[in-house]
Structure 1
Amino acid sequence: MEQVNTLLVFDSVDPNRLIDTLSQNFSAEAKTPHRERRIYYDTFDWALYNSGMSLYRSSHEYSLRSIQDDRTLQTVEWKSNTPLNFIEAFSENVVSEKLKKVLAIRALLPRGRLDSQIRTIHILDEFDKTVLHVQVEKIRAGTASVINLVTLKPVRGYRKHHRQVAQLLRGIGDERKPTEVFKLLLGAAGETPGEYSSNMRVQLSPDMTARDATVIILERLLEVMRQNAPGITADIDTECLHDFRVAVRRTRSVLGQIKDVFPAESIKTFKKRFAELGQASNKLRDLDVFLLNKQRYEAMLPAAFRPQLSPLFKLLQSDRDKRQKEFVSVLKGRSCQSLLNKWETFLSSPTQDGAENPKDYDRPAIELARKYIFKRYTQVMALGGTINDSTPDEELHRLRIQCKNLRYLFEFFSSLFPQAKATTLIKQLKRLQDNLGEYNDLALQQSQLESIMSRSTKKQNENVQSAAATGGIIAMLHQRQQVVRKAFSKSFNEFSGGKNKKLYRELFA
């Protein structure tokens, strides 16, 4: 059985006095103290923390650790001043493969800087062999108060000494779990691990009024928009824009689907303005998706043809940089700031004095949720049932939008229903959405690549070669699109099956 570290936090700790305390019961040898600076990293959405890991740099080394049991998972020597390209630097093994899934396309950001004064004390047995390492740290984050941390690091085969020292120190220190210590350290640096998530994170109650529930949902979406705006401006990674856009779409979905909660005239302008805000970033998001798929596109071609895509991606990157600046101007502009501020004010006081409340204003939230979820489900079933192999793409697009709106309603109101049953329905809906979404993306990518092919580059010969390679990608995308289209019937039949019907009626009818 692997031994784990014991961590204790002290109100104050003097290494010399601690040595004296330990020496009264054990043979102790103290090493020369040294200083260390640690810079912790994580993604904007705390992907490492949410997966039970932490990453920090100290001196010329990066350490990936488990925050569940304080184990070192892997270390990487890094002497360059250039920021670590994390995934590529870690060797190919189980850890790095896991990290690829955890980090995906998110960038690593500095999350906190801590300065430590460290002294190590070795506990020795009667043969002067080290049987336990006691690490004493005084940790500061800027001008924050000192955190006094003592870590007992066991040596394999000497559990008794670990247990005895831990018992002694528990009398004067407060033992903490590694996750608690990690939060304490990052808290001293001004961070709250796990603070951001793009998920709805709303807790509604069944008897809450429809107006109150809707306001809570919309306030959460506004919070996500505001949280991601600085990341878009700084161009941290493409997911800040993605999360911002999803929050805007969800807001528009609420205003478009949940009627008779706010006076129609009072939200008319907001619906129009949020639609314009979403449209302002459409081109930027399309270009982000193209560039994120670069390796996928290259893999579609024989190796000899892949370099011919370079002009295409240079053009896309140039366009993307231009669109990024344009959208940042929109985001920081007076019109956008006014929209968000007025929206916040409206949500905090959604009624007007003397105005008659809409008919669903005081309706219990659970009744509102059932009404709109079942209505949208019925529409999805009706439209999906008419689609066959010869149905125009426009109808598939309509069904995709219907499914997306149904999914949003689930996300808004999921806390009102049994989680296991709601999760079953969401998973089945997501499989249908994946099919419709991929089909739409493939069609859109083909159309956009055809448009890009018509644009010239400086070298005519290079243009011809690039166009040929791009044409090859379009052909592969078209081929994949046909496969996805044929898979629609199976996806919809699974969604519209008897078990699903029964569950929808049980929860929402």
Structure 2
Amino acid sequence: MSAREATRKVRRASRREVLWVCPDGVEADAALAVAALPSRVAWGVWRREIFDVLDTGDGDLTRAGLAVVAEDGQMRLCRAGRWQARGALARQDLAPGGGAGGPAAAPVRPTGALAARLPRRLASRTLEVVGRLRRQVRAGTWRDEAGRVVARLRLEAVSAADDGPSRRVTLLRVTLPVADRAVGRAIVQACRQAGLQRRSVLALAGLQARLLGLPDPAVVRPRCTAPAEAPAGPAAMALAAALLDAMRRYEDGIRRDLDPECLHLYRVQLRRLRTLLSLLRRVLPPTLQDGPREVLRALAKRSNPLRDLDVLLQDEAACRRQLPEDLQPCLDKAFALMRRRRNLERGRLVGLLRSPRYAAALDDLRQAFLTAAATPAEGAAAAPIGHVVHRRVEKLFRRLVRRAERLPRGTSDADFHRLRVQCKRLRYLVDLFRPALAAAPAAGLTAVLKDLQAVLGSLNDQAVQRRHLQELIQQPVAAAASWPAAVEAALARRLDRRRRLLARRARQRLRALRGRSVARLVRRLGDREAAAADAVARAPAGRPV
């Protein structure tokens, strides 16, 4: 028998962690010591620490289940709720004076190993100190009657620096070094007898958000909260007001130029709001059927140039990898010109966001939405929201499938773009009203549309990059720099190769979209009984952490 085969047959001891939360008024160490008899629990001394937690302004990092902790002049990436240095995934040095005990750290961008461990969407975001936490830790062991260690305990009392009564929590982590079911059942029984409440490890992200006072996900990414039988008009108007509030949360980040993602997320909420007002136009009050759409269309048009330049500049590293070292100076001048153009477009957009006219227009729009949401529904607006949305989804899906079937072999960028817009509108509608639809079909259809939209979005970004690069090559500055033909040819080859790959992927996704399984998901969206059962299951807001 080889060494590899012998190793493969060895059963390794598993380590499993169970998370418990101590309700207010329960002293976990004392209660557990009584409940654990005849076993014996021994505790060590308390260790205390204080640290800053960095995140985006909307808590994007915490929602991804991650945390960046600043302490002793260094920040480390950890899992949410696991702030100790031992479990760090990556580290990055801070500027002098940053971290716990010093002044609030300035906004910082992840770099190096820390940025590499983050999802691509989060690696470009700017992090700021969103709160300071105090943590008291006490380690312990759980021994049986024979004195054998059957579990290792870790008691953590975590609170916000302001000591708010609703921002404190006590956790008990139980690690079972040996996979013994009998021991596990005995520990679970003792913890319940002590008054502790079991939680999933996934709840740590919500715990971290509550401690730091981060916005609720329902505020950052609003969805319809009305049941399927609710009147469509008021439900749509309440959601429109929530979407407008979510969109305006990113204005400060755009004005401060924190990161390009602020503008992207601003535009995402703007598109979701435009989709809502356009697709459910018949259930809206007559005064809100056209005016708001014109205002929002103008906002989207004003922000388009800045977003296109952000996407192009984010692809700078990929462009440079396609060219040899001796041709890099030409790209230096081209991207410097793009940055100057971006600064100009950003100045125009920030001027709009700071104008009293912009603030007054959106304030009036929000008030109109809230007034319409509080008005009793009549006529088409009184139809059940679940039925109205399901009919619109079916119509949009049939239209999308017909366009996909008629797609010519040599599809142009404009054809792909029109297909992308239809896909995006359908996905936004399903996602916005998912609580009013059958949950399982809505989740399945959203996943299919999201996958297709990602490929079509990459195709659109590639078309925008080509257009901007051609404009730059024709600029007088670039012509004066005697732009070599080799540079243009190398970039064209790269973009053509990338486009062929993306077009092939897009056709594969479109063939899957025309399959029977996707059509079955669309039909099942309007299952009233399933939607009602899902609403009942979602009714509890979740057990408090």
With normalisation by structure 2, the TM-score equals 0.72
Q: Which moved more, 1:358-367 or 1:479-488?
A: 479-488
Whole-Å separation in 1 of the counterparts to 2:331 and 2:508: 36
1:334 to 356, 364, 389: 356
Matched, 1:253 2:272: no
Whole-Å separation in 1 of the counterparts to 2:19 and 2:511: 54
Task: Please state how far the C-alpha of 1:115 moved relative to its aligned partner.
Answer: 5.3
Task: Please state how far the C-alpha of 1:286 moved relative to its aligned partner.
Answer: 0.6
Report the AA paired with residue 315 of structure 2.
N
Q: Which moved more, 1:377-386 or 1:223-232?
A: 377-386
Matched, 1:213 2:235: yes
Deviations 1:191-210 (A, max 9, x none): 45757643x43333221111
Q: Which moved more, 1:493-502 or 1:308-317?
A: 493-502
Q: Is the 8 A contact 1:5 1:70 kept in 2?
A: no
Whole-Å separation in 1 of the counterparts to 2:416 and 2:66: 41
Equivalent residues in 2 for 1:235-384, closer than 5 Å? 235-350=257-372, 359-384=379-404
1:469 to 458, 468, 487: 487
After superposition, the Cα gap between the structure-2 partners of 1:478 and 1:69, relative to the gap in structure 1 and judged at 3 Å, is: closer
1:113 to 93, 110, 132: 132
Cross-structure match for 2:55 = 42
Task: Please state how far the C-alpha of 1:445 moved relative to its aligned partner.
Answer: 1.9
Report the AA paired with residue 457 of structure 1.
V
After superposition, the Cα gap between the structure-2 partners of 1:171 and 1:412, relative to the gap in structure 1 and judged at 3 Å, is: closer
Q: Is the 8 A contact 2:140 2:153 kept in 1?
A: yes
Deviations 1:165-208 (A, max 9, x none): 9999999997886877886676455445757643x433332211
Q: Which moved more, 1:266-275 or 1:51-60?
A: 51-60
Task: Please state how far the C-alpha of 1:273 moved relative to its aligned partner.
Answer: 0.9
Question: What residue ranges of structure 1 are gaps of 5+ in the alignment?
Answer: 91-95, 126-130
Q: Is the 8 A contact 2:20 2:171 kept in 1?
A: yes
Task: Please state how far the C-alpha of 1:478 moved relative to its aligned partner.
Answer: 3.0
After superposition, the Cα gap between the structure-2 partners of 1:68 and 1:150, relative to the gap in structure 1 and judged at 3 Å, is: closer
Report the AA paired with residue 211 of structure 1.
G
Deviations 1:353-377 (A, max 9, x none): 9x9x774111111221122112222
2:122 to 103, 123, 138: 103
Cross-structure match for 2:10 = none
Task: Please state how far the C-alpha of 1:293 moved relative to its aligned partner.
Answer: 1.0
After superposition, the Cα gap between the structure-2 partners of 1:484 and 1:166, relative to the gap in structure 1 and judged at 3 Å, is: closer
Q: Is the 8 A contact 2:59 2:209 kept in 1?
A: no
Q: Is the 8 A contact 2:334 2:478 kept in 1?
A: no
Task: Please state how far the C-alpha of 1:339 moved relative to its aligned partner.
Answer: 1.9
Q: Is the 8 A contact 1:39 1:114 kept in 2?
A: yes
Task: Please state how far the C-alpha of 1:278 moved relative to its aligned partner.
Answer: 1.0
Whole-Å separation in 2 of the counterparts to 1:89 and 1:119: 28
Q: Is the 8 A contact 1:228 1:244 kept in 2?
A: yes
Q: Which moved more, 1:449-458 or 1:307-316?
A: 449-458
Matched, 1:437 2:457: yes
Q: Is the 8 A contact 1:87 1:99 kept in 2?
A: no
Report the AA paired with residue 114 of structure 1.
L
Deviations 1:127-172 (A, max 9, x none): xxxx989888796614756969697898989x9xxxx999999999
After superposition, the Cα gap between the structure-2 partners of 1:456 and 1:4, relative to the gap in structure 1 and judged at 3 Å, is: same
Report the AA paired with residue 203 of structure 1.
T
Deviations 1:268-315 (A, max 9, x none): 221111111111111110111011111221222234433431112222
Report the AA paired with residue 460 of structure 2.
N
Q: Which moved more, 1:417-426 or 1:466-475?
A: 466-475
Report the AA paired with residue 128 of structure 2.
L
Cross-structure match for 1:88 = 112
Cross-structure match for 1:417 = 437
Q: Is the 8 A contact 2:58 2:220 kept in 1?
A: yes
SS in 2 for 1:205: coil
Q: How many residues align?
A: 491
Q: Is the 8 A contact 1:64 1:74 kept in 2?
A: yes
Matched, 1:56 2:69: yes
Whole-Å separation in 2 of the counterparts to 1:307 and 1:402: 41
Whole-Å separation in 1 of the counterparts to 2:19 and 2:442: 41
Task: Please state how far the C-alpha of 1:417 moved relative to its aligned partner.
Answer: 2.7
Q: Is the 8 A contact 1:141 1:188 kept in 2?
A: no
Whole-Å separation in 2 of the counterparts to 1:318 and 1:109: 26
Whole-Å separation in 2 of the counterparts to 1:167 and 1:122: 18
After superposition, the Cα gap between the structure-2 partners of 1:261 and 1:305, relative to the gap in structure 1 and judged at 3 Å, is: same
Whole-Å separation in 1 of the counterparts to 2:189 and 2:252: 48
SS in 2 for 1:445: helix
Q: Is the 8 A contact 2:233 2:373 kept in 1?
A: no
Whole-Å separation in 1 of the counterparts to 2:416 and 2:487: 29
Whole-Å separation in 2 of the counterparts to 1:167 and 1:499: 45
Whole-Å separation in 2 of the counterparts to 1:430 and 1:29: 50
Cross-structure match for 1:497 = 515
Report the AA paired with residue 383 of structure 2.
R
Whole-Å separation in 2 of the counterparts to 1:473 and 1:368: 48
After superposition, the Cα gap between the structure-2 partners of 1:65 and 1:175, relative to the gap in structure 1 and judged at 3 Å, is: farther
Cross-structure match for 2:466 = 446
Whole-Å separation in 2 of the counterparts to 1:110 and 1:134: 27
Whole-Å separation in 2 of the counterparts to 1:380 and 1:475: 31
Report the AA paired with residue 111 of structure 1.
V
SS in 2 for 1:56: strand
SS in 2 for 1:436: helix
Whole-Å separation in 2 of the counterparts to 1:153 and 1:352: 50
SS in 2 for 1:360: helix
Whole-Å separation in 1 of the counterparts to 2:131 and 2:291: 42
Cross-structure match for 2:99 = none
Whole-Å separation in 2 of the counterparts to 1:291 and 1:44: 23
With normalisation by structure 1, the TM-score equals 0.77
SS in 1 for 2:381: coil
Q: Is the 8 A contact 1:210 1:362 kept in 2?
A: yes
Whole-Å separation in 2 of the counterparts to 1:225 and 1:503: 30
After superposition, the Cα gap between the structure-2 partners of 1:304 and 1:138, relative to the gap in structure 1 and judged at 3 Å, is: same
Sequence identity (%): 22
RMSD: 4.8
Whole-Å separation in 1 of the counterparts to 2:421 and 2:346: 26
Task: Please state how far the C-alpha of 1:10 moved relative to its aligned partner.
Answer: 9.5
Task: Please state how far the C-alpha of 1:397 moved relative to its aligned partner.
Answer: 3.2
Whole-Å separation in 2 of the counterparts to 1:210 and 1:217: 11
SS in 1 for 2:75: strand
Report the AA paired with residue 74 of structure 1.
A
Whole-Å separation in 1 of the counterparts to 2:92 and 2:464: 42
